[in-house]
Every structure is written in C-alpha cells, then in structure tokens.
Amino acid sequence: MPVRLVVRTFSELCITVGALIILFVVYFLFWTGVKAADAAEDEIDTLHSRWARQPVAPAPPPDSAEPSAPAPYRDGKPFAMLHIPRFGAGWEWPVLENTEVRTLQKGLGHYSGTARPGDTGNFAVAGHRRTYGDPFKDFPKLRPGDAVVVNDGTTWFTYRIAKKPYRTVPTDTAVVDPVPRGSGFEGAGRYLTLTTCEPEWGSSHRLIAWAHLDATRPVSAGRPQALSR
C-alpha cells in the first residue's frame, strides 16, 4: 500500500511539473509574442502620429549657418522604423532608444551613444532572436547585399549587408564601435550594426551583421526601391 501511494504521488507530481513546463513554453512561445506585437503596434502608431504632426522643414539657403544639433532621443521612446526585406515583405519593427530589457520587449533597441541613421559612425541596433515577437529569428539568413531600410520620418536610409553574420561573445563591445572591429570596414563611414542572441534559444554568444549606407531618399519621394520588390 505505501509503495502504491508513493508511485501515485510521484506520478501526480510528474504530471503537475509537466503541465507547468508546457505552460511556461506556451508563455514564451505565444504570450510574449502577443504582448510584443501589441506593444510594437502601439509604438508604430506613436511614430506615425508624431510624423503626421511634424512640419516639413524647408531646405536652408546655401549660405546659411550650420543647423543646430538635433534633440537627443528619449529613453525607451521610438524614433525610427526598420525594414529587412530578406525577412519578409511585411517585416517592420520600431526602433526605440536604449537596449534595456523592457525596451526590447516592445521593439528593437538602439545602442545609446552610437550614431543616428545616416550619420557618420555606426548606427547599432539590438533585437530578440526568440520571444517577444522573434524579430531576429531569421538573422542567420542575412547575406551580403541584403537591404536594411531605416525610416526616421523624413528620410529613407538604405543600408547593404557587407558579410554573413559574425559570431562572437557578449563582451565583444568593439562590434558597435564607430568603425566596428571584425567588420572589414576601414576608416570612418556610415555604418549599421545589427546584433542578436546566439544560439537561437540561448544567449551565450551574439550574432552580428554589419552594413554600410548605400542610398538615401526623402520620405516625400515615396518608398525606396529596396522595399518595392
């Protein structure tokens, strides 16, 4: 009798643990995706509303003084949209300022202190590989020549991937330097760096993709060719 009780208790415990594991997996595979989709949609709506309200500034005369420095990005707030056609025609995510955990639950995160889109330097962006919408799930599919298009409300910036994703460790912060180490770039330029976790369901390493600015286009002129295919 005691043996049967132990076996039954153990079986019930295994069932309970199994159910908890299933619920945990469902949470990470489904619920975080739902939350991220809703949060990202809210950030996109915020951007579009802001852009719709901002006036179109006239071009300054040739002999005008240098324009004043733009206002700094606000922590945790969106400032651009990022598109990667390689990941699908409808793939688009908001880019928010900083790479804190709560920021990456709503979209992609800009490494604070790195360049703005289109500026000389390195515009560096991080995103989840899995969970919270899986924005960079297909990161290993990136190939040289692939377009990465950024829209800041006034300009489309089309970058081109320079090489296949590079694997490194989290402490290798030089990958987001103004001239990123390991990229093959030499000297100052207008670069973009994308980072995500590696392996797919872990975070012991990082995957890095580097790109260089290929073209710019005013938003008023319509979507760039890279998004029209």
Active site amino acids: 128, 197, 206
In the chain, where are the structural domains located? 37-55+75-227
The C-alpha angle 34, 130, 27, rounded to 5 degrees, equals 45
Residue 186 has pLDDT above 60, yes or no: yes
Calculate the alpha carbon distances from 200 to 83, 169, 196, 205 in Å.
Answer: 21, 14, 9, 10
pLDDT tens track for 19-42: 334 444 445 555 677 787 899 999
Helix or strand run (H / E) with residue 49: helix 32-53
Rounded Cα–Cα distance for residues 130 and 35 (Å): 13
Task: Round to whole Å and give the CA distance between 154 and 61.
Answer: 19
**Is the pLDDT score of 170 beyond 80?**
yes
Express each pLDDT in 9-18 by its tens digit. Answer: 545 454 544 4
Residue 21 has a pLDDT of 44
Q: How many residues does the chain have?
A: 229
Long-range contacts of 169-175 (CB under 8 A, 24+ apart): 169/204, 169/205, 169/206, 170/203, 170/204, 170/205, 170/206, 172/206, 175/206, 175/208
Q: What is the CATH number of domain 37-55+75-227?
A: 2.40.260.10
DSSP state of 135: T
Question: What pLDDT score was predicted for residue 117?
Answer: 98
In sign, the C-alpha dihedral spanning 87, 101, 176, 79 is positive
